[in-house]
């Protein structure tokens, strides 16, 4: 013990010295930076002159530029996506046959927990933050986020958060007795309070950090959208993506601090013998209430911005403006409010008072309306439109199609009698995967393709993108439709095996359906490999976009503000070069523009 502490002290000392050294180097470098951008009055912006942003890796560790931070969020989210995807492919492999074949129950449970938490907190939230950081300031005509440094802090809390959440997987082989958590993403007590494993504490701490990060980001977005709008943007012409991010941020502001508090209560229960969630104390059900009071808004925190992305992108390839724009705005706000009145639909079978349960059913049915309204708006937007089936558009259409199934299954589950039958079966898993994979991931992919030219200055490979779409779409529907059927057959969720008594469920059919969904999962996996290849290769070698309007949006009067910004950058880059040549100083911060477009070459 003493030795350990000593070693740690030394380590800590080294860390402190390293940090001090790093920072002082940074400060030195800052003070000695020549006034490279004397010409660039009004800000020494985006690499404005190479002197102003450090080169190489240091730039990424020190940036407070919203676009750079957006890229960092994106890369982070995609790393997490592959971690969570790898975990689930192992699980699906295990489930291809009824018995224990390739892993033990403990490892399956660890993967299950890691998959859920990773996908929701480390992929879902950050991939949305990637788009909002990069594009909200451009869409509302702001110079940057309201608090650029807080923005950077919010991002940098995430990597340590992920390391803590995944810690058990790294430390388990070392034999320290710190194993991955097996709590599932809902962390239900008493199970989570009683698992004596420091890995659970580390995961809870990591989650807490990601919650702090999300809250900081939300405050920043609210401040930005309220106060940093350009002169020509007000509530009447604020774009739909910004509306959804505003609503999402409000939800985060109310939901995440509550999760943080509940996590700390759980940590106290685990380590300091408090009894918040003990049977003889606050009761395990208290955890469920607190968790779902956060948890249901969380699902809308995850889905509203993707809905905004689709509402923004879909019209671009339909040749028509979004049908009923205001409907979409108001129904977004409605979802935001109502999502706080439905949490106990996750707890219908906990034996709560039937009167209260009925109320939660009522509000849950009401919340389905604003969701359905959007679906009809999207369909009507496409109706008689001039559709162009580009990759982003395909993902938008897939999104709508998946939402129809995901949403309707949700409404079924919101009806108490149906839920009592289907609760804790694969049906629930099918419901929310249609939404989280079928919508959130799809909208994210669509937006990645749509904005790829802006971010990289290059075009992706269209054929590969179509392959990616079709593999994802077919894989998703195979996998998760099989889940729905499995649920009807009574297959309970969260098990590594399914060796039923034939009287309970038809084992043969269940096995077949599991195999089908394993196949589907691997199809999705192959699709994502295609996509990863496409992204990386196109980023380095894709054809440069010559024109600031790669989607021909001007033809339809759909040239959005972010592409207008892109065009301005390109114009300035071309024009700027001449000016530099003529008057040597240049009146524009041209270096930045060139950089924005040709970042790939520079690095």
Partner 1 sequence: MDETTSDDPPPRPWDEEEPREIEEDGPTRVSAWPLVVALGLTVSEVGVFMGVYPLAVGGLVLFVASVAGITHEAGYTRRPWRLAGALGVVLVAAGVWMVSTQVPLAVDPVVTAVERADGIVLRGVSVVGAGVVSVVGAAIVSAMGDGTNDTFPA
Partner 2 sequence: MVSEPDAKTFDRETLLDLVVNAIPLGIILFFILVFALVNPFGSDPVNTAIQFSIMIVTGLALLVLTYVSGKAVSEAEDELEEQGLELSEEAGADGTAETTAPAETEDDTA
- Positions 111 through 140 that interact with ligand HEM (CB under 6 A): none
Omega prior to 190 cis, within 30 of 0: yes
Span 17-56, contacts to partner 1 by CB under 8 A: 19, 22-23, 26-27, 30-31, 33-35, 40, 42-46, 48, 51-54
Span 148-187, contacts to ligand HEM by CB under 6 A: 186
Class of residue 267 by CB neighbours under 10 A (exposed 0-12, middle 13-18, buried 19+): middle
Expressed in angstroms, the distance from the first to the final Cα of the chain is 47
Q: Work out the angle at residue 573's Cα, subtended by the Cα atoms of residues 461 and 72, and round it to the nearest 5 degrees.
A: 55
The residue count of the chain comes to 603
Pick what 326 binds: partner 1, ligand HEM, partner 2, none; C-beta below 5 to 8 Å, kind-dependent: partner 2
CB of 283: closest distance to partner 2 in angstroms? 16
CB of 206: closest distance to partner 1 in angstroms? 9
Q: Which one of 142-150, 404-412, 528-536, 558-566 is the stretch in contact with ligand HEM (CB under 6 A)?
A: 404-412
Q: Which one of 91-99, 113-121, 199-207, 538-546 is the stretch in contact with partner 1 (CB under 8 A)?
A: 199-207
Which CB, 16 or 504, lies closer to partner 1?
16
Class of residue 3 by CB neighbours under 10 A (exposed 0-12, middle 13-18, buried 19+): exposed
φ/ψ region of 112 (left if φ > 0, alpha if ψ in -120 to 50, else beta) reads alpha
Site string for partner 1, 530-569 (x = CB under 8 A): -----------------------------------x--xx
CB of 210: closest distance to ligand HEM in angstroms? 17
Binding residues for partner 2, how many (CB under 8 A)?
55
CB of 122: closest distance to ligand HEM in angstroms? 15
Pick what 554 binds: partner 2, partner 1, ligand HEM, none; C-beta below 5 to 8 Å, kind-dependent: partner 2
Pick what 369 binds: ligand HEM, partner 2, partner 1, none; C-beta below 5 to 8 Å, kind-dependent: partner 2
CB of 340: closest distance to partner 2 in angstroms? 7
Does position 396 interact with ligand HEM (CB under 6 A)? The reply is no
β partners of residue 425: 492
Q: Which residues contact 601 (CB under 8 A, 6 or more apart)?
A: none
Q: Which residues contact 21 (CB under 8 A, 6 or more apart)?
A: none
Compute the distance between CA of residue 469 and CA of residue 400 in angstroms, rounded to an integer. Answer: 14
Does position 564 interact with partner 2 (CB under 8 A)? The reply is yes
Compute the distance between CA of residue 183 and CA of residue 585 in angstroms, rounded to an integer. Answer: 61
**What are the tokens at 305?**
């911005």
Does position 441 interact with ligand HEM (CB under 6 A)? The reply is no
Query: For residue 537, how many C-alpha atoms fall within 13 Å in the half-sphere facing its CB?
Result: 11
- Asked whether 165 and 114 are in contact (CB, 8 A), the reply is yes
**What are the tokens at 462?**
């269209």
Does position 419 interact with partner 2 (CB under 8 A)? The reply is no
DSSP 3-state of 492: strand
Does position 59 interact with partner 1 (CB under 8 A)? The reply is yes
Ranges of beta strands (E only) in 218-306 are none
Which CB, 231 or 280, lies closer to partner 1?
231
CB of 75: closest distance to partner 1 in angstroms? 15
Span 197-256, contacts to ligand HEM by CB under 6 A: none
Does position 289 interact with ligand HEM (CB under 6 A)? The reply is no
CB of 406: closest distance to partner 2 in angstroms? 19
Does position 346 interact with ligand HEM (CB under 6 A)? The reply is yes
Q: Which residues contact 520 (CB under 8 A, 6 or more apart)?
A: 474, 475, 476, 477, 478, 479, 480, 482
Give the footprint of partner 2 on this chain (CB under 8 A): 141, 230-240, 312, 321-322, 324-327, 329-331, 333-334, 336-338, 340-341, 353-356, 358-360, 362-363, 365-367, 369-370, 373, 554, 557-561, 564-565, 567-568, 571
């Amino acid at each position: 013990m003493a030795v350990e502490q000593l070693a740690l002290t030394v380590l800590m000392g080294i860390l402190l010295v390293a940090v001090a050294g790093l920072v002082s180097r940074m400060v030195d470098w800052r003070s000695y930076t020549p006034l490279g951008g004397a010409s660039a009055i009004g800000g020494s912006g985006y690499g404005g002159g190479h002197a102003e942003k450090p080169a190489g890796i240091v730039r990424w560790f020190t940036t407070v530029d919203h676009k750079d931070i957006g890229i960092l969020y994106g890369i982070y989210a995609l790393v997490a996506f592959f971690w969570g995807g790898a975990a689930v492919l192992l699980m699906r492999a295990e489930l291809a046959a009824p018995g224990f074949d390739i892993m033990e129950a403990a490892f399956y449970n660890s993967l299950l927990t890691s998959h859920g938490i990773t996908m929701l907190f480390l992929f879902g939230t950050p991939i949305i933050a990637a788009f909002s950081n990069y594009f909200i300031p451009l869409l509302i005509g702001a110079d940057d986020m309201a608090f650029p440094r807080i923005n950077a802090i919010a991002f940098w809390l995430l990597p340590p958060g992920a390391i803590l959440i995944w810690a058990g997987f790294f430390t388990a082989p070392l034999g320290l007795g710190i194993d991955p958590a097996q709590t599932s993403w809902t962390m239900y007590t008493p199970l989570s309070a009683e698992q004596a494993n420091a890995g659970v504490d580390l995961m809870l701490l990591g989650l807490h950090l990601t919650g702090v990060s999300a809250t900081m980001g939300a405050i920043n977005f609210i401040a930005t959208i309220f106060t940093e709008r350009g002169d020509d943007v007000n509530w009447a012409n604020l774009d739909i993506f910004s509306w959804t991010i505003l609503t999402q941020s409000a939800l985060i502001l109310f939901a995440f601090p509550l999760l943080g508090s509940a996590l700390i209560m759980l940590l106290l229960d685990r380590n300091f013998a408090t009894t918040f969630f003990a049977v003889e104390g606050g009761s395990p059900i208290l955890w469920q209430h607190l968790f779902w009071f956060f948890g249901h808004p969380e699902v809308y925190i995850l889905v509203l911005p993707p809905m905004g992305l689709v509402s923004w992108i879909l019209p671009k390839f339909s040749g028509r403006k979004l049908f009923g724009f205001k409907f979409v705005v108001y129904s977004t706000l409605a979802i935001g409010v109502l999502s706080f009145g439905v949490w106990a639909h996750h707890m219908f079978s906990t034996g709560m008072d039937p009167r209260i349960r009925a109320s939660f059913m009522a509000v849950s049915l009401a919340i389905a309306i604003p969701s359905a309204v959007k679906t009809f708006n999207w369909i009507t937007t496409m109706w008689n439109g001039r559709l162009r089936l580009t990759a982003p558009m395909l993902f938008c259409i897939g999104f709508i199609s998946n939402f129809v199934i995901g949403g309707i299954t949700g409404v079924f589950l919101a009806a108490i009698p149906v839920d009592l039958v289907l609760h804790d079966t694969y049906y629930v898993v099918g419901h929310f995967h249609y939404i989280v994979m079928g919508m959130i991931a799809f909208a994210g992919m669509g937006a990645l393709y749509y904005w790829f030219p802006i971010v990289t200055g290059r075009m992706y490979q269209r054929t590969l993108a179509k392959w990616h779409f079709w593999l994802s779409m077919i894989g998703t529907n195979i996998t998760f439709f099989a889940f729905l059927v499995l649920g009807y057959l009574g297959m309970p969720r969260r098990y590594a095996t399914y060796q039923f008594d034939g009287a309970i469920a038809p084992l043969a059919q269940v096995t077949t359906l599991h195999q089908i969904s394993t196949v589907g999962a691997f199809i999705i996996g192959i699709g994502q490999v295609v996509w990863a290849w496409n992204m990386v290769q196109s980023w380095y070698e894709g054809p440069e976009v010559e024109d600031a309007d790669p989607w021909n949006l001007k033809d339809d009067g759909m040239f959005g503000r972010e592409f207008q910004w892109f065009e301005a950058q390109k114009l300035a880059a071309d024009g700027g070069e001449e000016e530099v040549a003529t008057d040597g100083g240049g009146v524009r911060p041209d270096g930045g523009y060139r950089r924005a477009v040709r970042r790939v070459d520079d690095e």
